[in-house]
Chains A and B, each alone.
Chain A
Amino acid sequence: MSAAASASKRVLSSYLRAFRATRVAFQGDLPVLTASRGEIRENFRNPDTSKPLEARLKEMDDISTFLLRNIVQGKKMENADGKYALNIHSKTELGDNDSVKKAKKVLMDNNGGCCGGANAKI
C-alpha cells in the first residue's frame, strides 16, 4: 500500500472512531451530538495544517478516547429533589476503592498528604 493510501486509511479510521465516540458520549442528546459532530467535521475538512498530520490524528484519537471514558451524561430526575441520574456505561473509566487507598498510602509513606503534610521533611 502506498504511503498516501495508508495515510488516508488512518484519517478515515480516526474519523469513524470520533463519530462513534460522540454516539456513546452524547446518546439521546441531539443538540450536543450534532454540535460535536459538526466540530469534528470542521476539523477534518479544514485542518490546522501548521501541525503535522501525525499530531492531528493523535489529538483526535485522544479526544475520542476522552469522550468514551471520561464523559458521563447526567439527567435531572423528576420529583427527585434535584438529583441527577448518571449514565455510566461499559466504557466509562472508573477508579475503585482499592486504587484510591493505594494512592493515599503512597502519599502517607512520603510523609505527604494531599496538602503537604504536617511532618514533611524539607
Chain B
Amino acid sequence: MFSRALSRYAFSMATRRAAIASPRIGMMASVKSYATLPEDQVSKRIIDVVKSFDKVNSTAPITSTTNFITDLGLDSLDTVEVLVAIEEEFDIEIEDKDADEIKTVGQAIDYIVKNPDAN
C-alpha cells in the first residue's frame, strides 16, 4: 500500500519534471492541434477543387456565393462528389448533418476554416 503510494508520488514527480523540462514541445503540440487554416488559402484550394471537377466549366468565375446546383448546374449526386473531393483535399470527413447544409462554395470554405482537423 505504502509502496504503491510512494511510487505514485515518484511518478507524478517524474512527469512534472518532464513537463518542466520540455515546455516548448508541450506548447507547440497544443498550438498545432488547435490551428485552423487561413481563409484565403482554404478559399483558393476549394475553388481549385471545384474547378477541377469534370462537369464544371473551368472558365466560369467561381466565388464564395457560387451555388453548386443553381450556378454550376450540378445535381445532388455531383455535389456529393465535390464534397468527397474537398474531404480528400483537406484530409477530413465532413459530418453527415453538415454535408447536407453545404450548398455553396462559401459554406464549404466556412466549414473548413472552422475545422481544426483540416490540413
A residues neighboring B (CB under 8 Å): 8-9, 12-13, 15-16, 19-20, 23, 41, 44-45
Contacts and interface: CB of A to CB of B under 8 A. Distances in A.
Given A9-B100, A20-B93, A15 B80 contact: yes
Q: Is the interface of B mostly helix, strand, loop or mixed?
A: helix
Contacts of A45: 77
A9 B96 CA distance: 10
Interface stretch (B5-13, B14-22, B25-33, B82-90): B82-90
A82 B37 CA distance: 43
Interface in B73-108: 76-77, 80-81, 83-84, 87-88, 93, 96, 99-100
B88 A16 contact: no
Interface residues of B, number: 12
Give the one of B80, B87, B88, B99 with max A CB within 10 A.
B80
A19 B77 CA distance: 11
Contacts of B93: 20
B76 A8 contact: yes
A121 to B, nearest CB: 53
B96 A23 contact: no
Nearest to A37: B81
A16 B100 contact: no
B84 A13 contact: no
A20 to B, nearest CB: 7
A13 B84 CA distance: 12
Contacts of A16: 80, 83-84, 96, 99
Given A12-B76, A44-B77, A45-B77, A19 B100 contact: no
Given A9-B100, A13-B96, A20 B76 contact: no
